[in-house]
Amino acid sequence: MEMMGLCLSLVMVMVTVMVLLPLCHGDGLSISTQNLEVSKQLKRLNKPPLKSIKSPDGDIIDCVHISHQPAFDHPLFKNHTIQKRPNYHPLGQIAEKKVSNVKVKSNGGKSTVISQLWHTSGRCPEGTIPIRRTRREDLLRASSITSYGKKKHKTIPKPAAAAAATSANPDIISQSGHQHAIAYVEGDKYYGAKGTMNVWEPRIDQPNEFSLSQLWILGGSFASDLNSIEAGWQVSPDLYGDHNTRLFTYWTSDAYQATGCYNLLCTGFIQINNEIAMGATIYPLSAYGANQYDISILVWKDPKEGNWWMQFGSQYVLGYWPSYLFSYLADSASMIEWGGEVVNSASDGQHTTTQMGSGHFPGEGFGKSSYFRNIEIVDGSNNLRAPKDISTFTEQSNCYDVQTGKNGDWGNYFYYGGPGRNPNCP
């Protein structure tokens, strides 16, 4: 009898454990609750498509009616009338000597337009926009389901106050593990910026790290009220589940606290273009010592409506951020930055080996280093012009560095990037 009682007790314990174990998962959500939250989030993000396209990289691109995109889920956008085109383009953008969004060959030859990989499988019809489908595994990789598609705090370099802040608050310099190599201008009112950058596939050390190259349109302070519009290319295994180089955008109006997100993962950016998908793979890419491929990005404020528009290359006007999303940027920007950013999450005292740009230092030059060329700002008269008094900033120049220059073809340019950990960056 005692033996039978012991067996029954063991069975009861095992049954209890088997029942309770599945109820806890991740951040304390039961599996059933988590499944419900994931399903709700996927339904919110993935709108019913009129057509779906399978990309060679495994992505599904859904062609969604322009009026059904995620931006219009928010009450703030309930009565918003889609602006089909900007009222004004910045003057002077056609004057660039080298056509943007093409292959740059040092030995001459035919140029090839950079595209997105999903184009090899089809295109979206007029009246729709292409949206990269969010998968269940994308959400489960995030630290929480609700944080998917959002940056962590303090991911903007703060060059102007860097020296003064070092002793008082070292975290402002380390940016919670974020490191940069940038060129920047400040001290004026800016109404947009442009830059042409070559595109690489930098190596990422840890899945929670990323490497990107972008331009920043900034307004406000670097505390709780920072306004930022960002656009460029990135490699982010945590966000996309792979190591592909992808076009991206980001925005925030409160220093990444509650507002903003990548691409179309929340209310904010309104897309009007049916040919380019935010978050989709860019192809082809630059190779060390071989052909260099670059993309051009222009962000500017429409003088009439006040919305901030984005253009990719010389022909794709992608969409806009409504001015009422912002406080400071509702008027103008106070700082423009161009350059690279990586996450250094190493906890063993060694620097990450995550590469920035090509993974090579600026001194190696064309064909080997990453670059921004023809960098310009938009002034109060809606003219594209060369920026004045360009400064540079990097937290650790022996890990990632930046070097500026100027010539007739490339205007104001700079090389930037690096390998991360190396003999001089332990």
Enclosing H/E stretch for 232: strand 227-235
Distance in Å from the first CA to the final CA of the chain: 67
User: Do 399 and 179 form a contact (C-beta atoms < 8 A)?
Assistant: yes
Q: Which amino acid is at 126?
A: E
Q: What is the CA radius of gyration of the chain?
A: 23
Catalytic residue among 96, 201, 337, 341: 341
3-state DSSP assignment of residue 173:
helix
Nearest to 33 by CA among 43, 41, 23: 23
User: Do 269 and 238 form a contact (C-beta atoms < 8 A)?
Assistant: no
Q: Is 65 exposed, middle or buried (0-12, 13-18, 19+ CB in 10 A)?
A: middle
CA–CA separation, 382 and 234 (whole Å): 29
CA–CA separation, 250 and 262 (whole Å): 5
Nearest to 287 by CA among 356, 349, 370, 200: 200
User: Do 343 and 154 form a contact (C-beta atoms < 8 A)?
Assistant: no
**Eight-class DSSP state of 18:** H
User: Do 362 and 182 form a contact (C-beta atoms < 8 A)?
Assistant: no
User: Do 151 and 236 form a contact (C-beta atoms < 8 A)?
Assistant: no
Residues 6+ apart with CB under 8 A from 216: 156, 228, 229, 230, 335, 336, 337, 338
**Eight-class DSSP state of 28:** T
User: Do 343 and 296 form a contact (C-beta atoms < 8 A)?
Assistant: no
Strand stretches in 35-191, DSSP E: 51-54, 60-65, 103-104, 115-116, 128-132, 178-190
Q: Is 337 a catalytic residue?
A: no
Catalytic residue among 96, 201, 230, 337: 230
Q: Is 230 a catalytic residue?
A: yes
Q: Which residues are known to be catalytic?
A: 230, 341
